[in-house]
């Protein structure tokens, strides 16, 4: 989920396992409940500037200076409009200094959002930390830092792996939402690690030679099959006979996480869980994975699937993660269930989805592309995997750097990278659907990418902004490329459109329509809402949002994969309860009308030979006079 902010989740797919409790995750590890939050539209507030060496905090409020909480009782009490920074020394003896700026981006009754910038004021940094005094405020969620949900008082926020390195004069940013007021908030640079000369920054390198030759890996277990491939036709998805189909599925994360295997297999059986998903009428399963894991498989170094209960899953005793994935495909095929493979993060990490791009330290753009080519070629004869979701939730907004853009020619140009990925995948696998998500921020009408003012941008959920896809489409095979936004409710993040009165009509007019729904309504492309979902019964606005979006999905026959099967998605919960066996019947009852069914209520699968348990195949549906699911 998203899990954004993603979409972004308990262990929710991969965001918080061995790391400190990550607050932006849409995934978590057993026993952890990190929250995932997406930054909202910016509204300028007051600014705090802190210098670790001065040891005081200076507030700029309505143009006046005021002395704030001291963070170092031994430091000088002299306030300055241009504070100095605290020196730090790295292992190489080089000096490094950092300073901190805090902006209250948004404030409402009972809560606020803060953005924090850590600047390398002298020397490059290889790591940083910020000491925050929160007072009575309690953190609800954070992004791009280790700051944990539930934190209050004096706490430390540290870098994550992908934003540890900061060049001299540049800054790393993170943020958080909190319940309470920012009245007692203060911050100071708690430490910096000097970067040795010549250290790389981990950014993507288009000229990188890639990960080397692939190893000789055992072939797939499923026998070749190819009668279920799908294609794009206007705003519909059609099968090989030209009949429209409706992809109505769910997500199950784990292969993208630190554990590198489906979550829940530590307690439940793979086959029985897949059978239950199929029996409930879900005809496609979106499976998040990481580029790092794909490259491990490609190199012949598939790790052991160590987080699998061999007593419950004896067939996976001693299996590698690749063998566990093969077992998922075999089991899915046997139950008439199709798969969409989603590169959810560059790193196999519970917080990996927080990185804004498809790159991370040690993972370049070329690695990303080669990983896709390898997995596409491997499964080009197995129509169990019908589509590839190229990258989960590219995001970032000004002044964050790096951030995902669309068509501006920068290193973060997601349209350019998605176009190259689509073309290279299609060259080795011409049958698969190619799903492209949006970004977070695009320039508002009349504005330019060169602006660093968030107020000049239309900002929405991570991966949810497809405003430019209609005029700047991804350059790939027209019969395979389609778009896949994500959308969430106020319990995932308090977006501006949830703070006043809203209705399904207002959401369609002001949010969904201009951001992504126009692609369907104007016949540009099919849409698959790759992540939507959340908790019920905790906030009536959340319940209304989920009902409104469900009704839109049914009315337009939009394709979708509900977030999520996993109960360990902290900000959404799951379709399954904490025992990984019992279904949340209230949540399922909300989703069930958006699952493809015939006139008798039988669920319709996407396979032409193997029906969902108790359901019908596509062939049987049309032979009995079923109507095309179009809208």
CA pair distance 115, 101, nearest whole angstrom: 8
The number of angstroms, rounded, from the C-alpha of 188 to the middle of its chain's C-alpha atoms is 30
Residues in the chain, overall count: 631
Three-state DSSP class for residue 213: coil
Contact in structure between 11 and 572 (CB atoms under 8 Å): no
SS (H, E, C) 540-575: HHHHHHHHHHHHHHHHHCCEEEECCCCCCCCCCCCC
Q: What stretch of H or E contains 623?
A: helix 618-623
The two counts, helices (H) then strands (E), for the chain are: 10, 24
CA pair distance 398, 569, nearest whole angstrom: 28
**Residue 30 burial class via C-beta count within 10 angstroms: exposed 0-12, middle 13-18, buried 19 and up:** middle
Own/partner contacts of 315-321, CB < 8 Å, gap of 24 or more, are 315/270, 316/265, 316/270, 321/255, 321/260, 321/261, 321/293, 321/296, 321/297
Give phi and psi for 271, each to the nearest 5: -65, -45
Contact in structure between 50 and 60 (CB atoms under 8 Å): no
Is 531 labeled as catalytic in the residue annotation?
Answer: yes
Contact in structure between 486 and 530 (CB atoms under 8 Å): yes
46 C-beta neighbours (distance < 10 Å), count: 14
CA pair distance 520, 469, nearest whole angstrom: 12
CA pair distance 37, 30, nearest whole angstrom: 20
Q: Which residue has the tokens 């499964």?
A: 379
Catalytic residue among 171, 323, 393, 440: 393
Question: C-alpha angle with apex 403: 398 to 409, nearest 5 degrees?
Answer: 105
The conformational region for residue 531 under phi > 0 = left, psi -120 to 50 = alpha, else beta, is beta
CA pair distance 344, 322, nearest whole angstrom: 17
Contact in structure between 407 and 415 (CB atoms under 8 Å): yes
Is 361 labeled as catalytic in the residue annotation?
Answer: no
346 C-beta neighbours (distance < 10 Å), count: 30
Q: What stretch of H or E contains 284?
A: strand 284-290
- Among residues 541, 625, 631, which one has the least CA distance to residue 594? 631
- Among residues 510, 553, 513, which one has the least CA distance to residue 533? 553
| Catalytic residue ranges | 393, 531
């Amino acid at each position: 989920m998203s899990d954004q902010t993603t979409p972004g989740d308990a262990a929710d797919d991969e965001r918080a396992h061995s790391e400190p409790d990550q607050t932006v995750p849409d995934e978590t590890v057993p026993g952890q409940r990190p929250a995932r939050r997406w930054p909202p539209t910016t509204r300028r507030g007051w600014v705090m500037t802190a210098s670790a060496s001065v040891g005081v905090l200076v507030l700029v409020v309505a143009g006046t200076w005021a002395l704030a909480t001291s963070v170092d009782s031994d430091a000088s009490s002299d306030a300055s409009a241009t504070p100095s920074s605290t020196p730090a020394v790295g292992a190489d003896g080089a000096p490094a200094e950092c300073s901190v700026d805090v902006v209250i981006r948004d404030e409402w009754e009972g809560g606020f959002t803060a953005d924090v910038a850590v600047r390398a004021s002298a020397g490059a940094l290889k790591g940083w930390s910020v000491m925050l005094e929160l007072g009575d405020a309690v953190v609800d969620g954070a992004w791009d830092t280790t700051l944990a949900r539930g934190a209050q008082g004096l706490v430390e926020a540290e870098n994550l792996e992908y934003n540890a390195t900061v060049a001299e004069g540049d800054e790393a940013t993170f943020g958080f939402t909190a319940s309470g007021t920012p009245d007692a908030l203060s911050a100071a640079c708690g430490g910096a690690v000097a970067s040795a000369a010549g250290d790389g920054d981990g950014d993507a390198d288009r000229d990188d030679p890639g990960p080397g030759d692939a190893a000789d890996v055992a072939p797939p277990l499923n026998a070749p099959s190819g009668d279920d491939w799908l294609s794009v036709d206007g705003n519909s998805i059609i099968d090989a006979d030209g009949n429209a189909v409706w992809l109505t599925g769910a997500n199950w994360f784990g292969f993208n996480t630190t554990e590198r295997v489906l979550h829940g297999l530590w307690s439940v059986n793979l086959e029985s869980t897949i059978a239950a998903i199929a029996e409930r009428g879900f005809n496609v399963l979106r499976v998040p994975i990481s580029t790092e894991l794909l490259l491990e498989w490609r190199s012949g170094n598939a790790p052991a699937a160590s987080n699998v209960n061999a007593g419950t899953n004896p067939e996976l005793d001693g299996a590698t993660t690749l063998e566990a994935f093969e077992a998922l495909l075999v089991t899915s095929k046997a139950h008439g269930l199709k798969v969409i493979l989603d590169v959810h993060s560059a790193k196999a990490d519970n917080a990996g989805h927080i990185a804004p791009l498809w790159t991370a330290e040690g993972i370049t753009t070329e690695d990303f592309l080669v990983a896709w080519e390898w997995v596409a070629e491997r499964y080009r004869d197995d129509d169990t995997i019908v589509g590839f979701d190229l990258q989960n939730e590219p995001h970032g907004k000004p002044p964050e750097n790096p951030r995902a853009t669309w068509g501006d020619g920068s290193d973060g140009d997601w349209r350019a990278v998605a176009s190259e990925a689509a073309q290279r995948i299609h060259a080795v696998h011409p049958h698969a659907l190619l799903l492209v998500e949006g970004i977070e921020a695009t320039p508002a009408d009349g504005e330019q990418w060169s602006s660093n003012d968030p107020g000049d941008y239309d900002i929405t959920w991570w991966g949810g902004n497809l405003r430019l896809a209609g005029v700047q489409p991804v350059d790939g095979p027209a019969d395979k490329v389609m778009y896949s936004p994500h959308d969430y409710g106020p319990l995932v993040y308090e977006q501006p459109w949830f703070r006043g009165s809203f209705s399904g009509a207002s959401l369609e007019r002001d949010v969904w329509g201009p951001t992504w729904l126009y692609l369907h309504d104007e016949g540009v492309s099919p849409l698959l809402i790759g992540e939507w979902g959340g908790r019920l019964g905790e906030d009536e606005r959340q319940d209304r949002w989920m009902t409104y979006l469900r009704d839109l999905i049914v009315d337009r026959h939009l394709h979708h994969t509900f977030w999520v099967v996993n109960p360990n998605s902290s900000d959404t919960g799951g379709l399954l309860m904490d025992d990984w066996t019992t279904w949340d019947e209230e949540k399922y009852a909300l989703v069930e009308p958006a699952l493809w069914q015939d006139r008798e209520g039988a669920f319709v699968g996407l396979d032409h030979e193997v029906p969902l348990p108790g359901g019908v195949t596509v062939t049987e549906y049309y032979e009995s006079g079923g109507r095309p699911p179009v809208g």
